């Protein structure tokens, strides 16, 4: 009997140890982990540098209030700003908190320039921005919002429907918020030309562009941020998942235009930006943001994609499409993916589902070539069994 509420349909497997791209189960089996806690363990499990960082920092200082200066947080914010479009950062502890903060910043900006009615956020129907009350209504998914009353302030358009997008912008729209690459929604990449048009549209309508990079950011796409590929600059970017490589960290990055409205008292978080989390964030950032590291993510990605596309050619009745960018990979099947994922797991490869019959492959960003080969071999085996 479990005393945990039943809000998850958990697989009957647990792990006692992790090392790099591998997880070791309590029943003594070794699994190749290609879901990485859903794009979280960006440097794999128990990375020696991160283990040392946590050990060292835990002996010094874990938590102090944001009433004081926190040098570790100052450092990480500086690194994030120097590496990206951002001028300022506010730290949180999770992705949903970061997207909520992004919404607050957008609304507060318009309030501060004397346009308090501009509060509405325009989102993609059935996207994913987290599980708080506001963010489930941002997603607009029936499944996620059913039974949870109503939180207003969000409008929706269909992915790829540019006419509906333009029509849904009203005088009360404050921002458009989209995932640069839709994760839960099925690894759907917003093409560069679309992102460019989106930026132009926001400029023309004098509204803000929020790009949710909680899943696709922090090197996952092969660039530090997925939108960098399109050369555009958003106004606000929530991040989380990969920046802590397993330690809970969230943040909202913003330009100075909007940051000016976030005056003392407008936002806060007890745990957000604590020294222990920030020490880990700094260590992850130092590794992931290097040119060499990102170049290697691109190299691994190219190898993975070309081989997966070969499998698609070989098994066209099973695999419909290989989607994604970098090491955010979706294998879209023609039919429901449950059996496929189960068979991968029996063969010791861990993956996770996404919408539209997609099997999500999210290896650690420092995955080795021989581990990719092993995954490809298992995927090929399962394809041949299901054919």
Is residue 128 within the footprint of ligand PLP (CB under 6 A)? yes
Is residue 217 within the footprint of ligand PLP (CB under 6 A)? no
Report, in Å, the least distance between residue 382 CB and ligand PLP.
26
Interacting residue with ligand PLP among 92, 94, 261, 307 (CB under 6 A): 94
Could you give the residue ranges of the DSSP H alpha helices within the chain?
A: 36-39, 48-60, 71-83, 95-112, 133-139, 142-145, 162-168, 192-205, 256-259, 275-288, 291-314, 338-346, 369-386
Euclidean distance between CA atoms 154 and 156, whole angstroms: 7
Is residue 219 within the footprint of ligand PLP (CB under 6 A)? no
Interacting residue with ligand PLP among 70, 106, 178, 214 (CB under 6 A): 214
For residue 235, what is the DSSP state? S
| Window 236-265: residues binding ligand PLP (CB under 6 A) | 240-241
Is residue 129 within the footprint of ligand PLP (CB under 6 A)? yes
| Cα angle: 126, vertex 168, 135; to 5 degrees | 35
* Cβ within 8 Å of residue 55, ≥6 positions away: none
Task: Report the residue number, 104 or 318, with the smaller CB distance to ligand PLP.
Answer: 104
Interacting residue with ligand PLP among 179, 228, 235, 371 (CB under 6 A): 179
| Cβ 273 vs Cβ 69: under 8 Å | no
Task: Report the residue number, 242 or 371, with the smaller CB distance to ligand PLP.
Answer: 242
Report, in Å, the least distance between residue 46 CB and ligand PLP.
21
Euclidean distance between CA atoms 375 and 128, whole angstroms: 27
Is residue 326 within the footprint of ligand PLP (CB under 6 A)? no
| Cβ 241 vs Cβ 360: under 8 Å | no
- The stretch among 41-49, 88-96, 103-111, 303-311 that binds ligand PLP (CB under 6 A) is 88-96
Task: Report the residue number, 72 or 184, with the smaller CB distance to ligand PLP.
Answer: 184
Report, in Å, the least distance between residue 362 CB and ligand PLP.
11
Q: Is 318 left (phi over 0), alpha (psi -120 to 50) or beta?
A: alpha
| Cβ 346 vs Cβ 370: under 8 Å | no
Interacting residue with ligand PLP among 77, 86, 89, 96 (CB under 6 A): 96
Euclidean distance between CA atoms 86 and 20, whole angstroms: 31
In a 3-state reduction of DSSP, which class is residue 201? Answer: helix
Is residue 155 within the footprint of ligand PLP (CB under 6 A)? no
Task: Report the residue number, 128 or 157, with the smaller CB distance to ligand PLP.
Answer: 128
Residue nearest to ligand PLP (CB): 95
* Number of residues that this document lists for the chain: 387
Residues binding ligand PLP (CB under 6 A): 94-96, 99, 128-130, 179, 183-184, 212, 214-215, 240-241
């Amino acid at each position: 009997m479990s005393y945990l509420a039943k809000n998850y349909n958990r697989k009957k497997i647990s792990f006692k140890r992790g090392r790099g791209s591998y997880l070791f189960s309590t029943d003594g089996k070794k699994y190749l982990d290609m879901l990485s806690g859903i794009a979280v363990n960006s440097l794999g499990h128990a990375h020696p540098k991160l283990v040392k960082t946590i050990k060292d920092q835990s002996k010094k200082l874990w938590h102090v209030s944001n009433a004081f200066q926190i040098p570790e947080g100052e450092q990480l914010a500086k690194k994030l700003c120097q590496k990206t479009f951002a001028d300022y950062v506010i730290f949180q502890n999770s992705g949903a908190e970061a997207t909520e903060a992004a919404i607050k910043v957008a609304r507060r900006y318009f309030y501060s320039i004397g346009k308090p009615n501009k509060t509405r956020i325009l989102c993609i129907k059935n996207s994913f921005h987290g599980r708080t009350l506001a963010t489930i209504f941002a997603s607009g998914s029936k499944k996620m919002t059913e039974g949870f009353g109503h939180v207003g302030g969000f409008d929706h358009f269909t992915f790829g429907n540019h006419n509906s997008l333009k029509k849904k912008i009203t005088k009360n729209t404050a921002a458009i918020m989209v995932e640069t690459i839709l994760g839960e929604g099925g690894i759907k990449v917003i093409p560069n030309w679309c992102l460019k048009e989106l930026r132009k549209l926001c400029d023309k309508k004098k509204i803000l562009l929020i790009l949710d990079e909680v899943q696709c950011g922090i090197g996952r796409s092969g660039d530090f941020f997925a939108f960098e590929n399109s050369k555009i600059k958003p106004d606000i970017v929530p991040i989380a998942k990969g920046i802590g490589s397993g330690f809970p960290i969230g943040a909202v990055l913003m330009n100075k235009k909007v940051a000016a409205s976030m005056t003392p008292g407008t936002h806060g978080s007890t745990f957000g930006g604590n020294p222990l989390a920030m020490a880990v964030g700094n260590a992850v950032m130092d590794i992931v943001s290097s040119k060499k590291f990102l170049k290697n993510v691109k190299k691994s990605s190219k190898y993975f994609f070309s081989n997966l596309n070969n499998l698609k050619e070989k098994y066209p009745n099973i695999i419909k499409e290989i989607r994604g960018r970098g090491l955010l990979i979706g294998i879209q099947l023609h039919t429901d993916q449950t059996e496929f994922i189960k068979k991968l797991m029996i063969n010791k490869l861990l993956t996770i589902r996404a919408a539209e019959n997609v099997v999500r492959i999210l290896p650690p960003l420092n995955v080795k070539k021989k581990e990719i080969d092993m995954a490809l071999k298992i995927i090929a085996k399962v394809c041949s069994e299901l054919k």
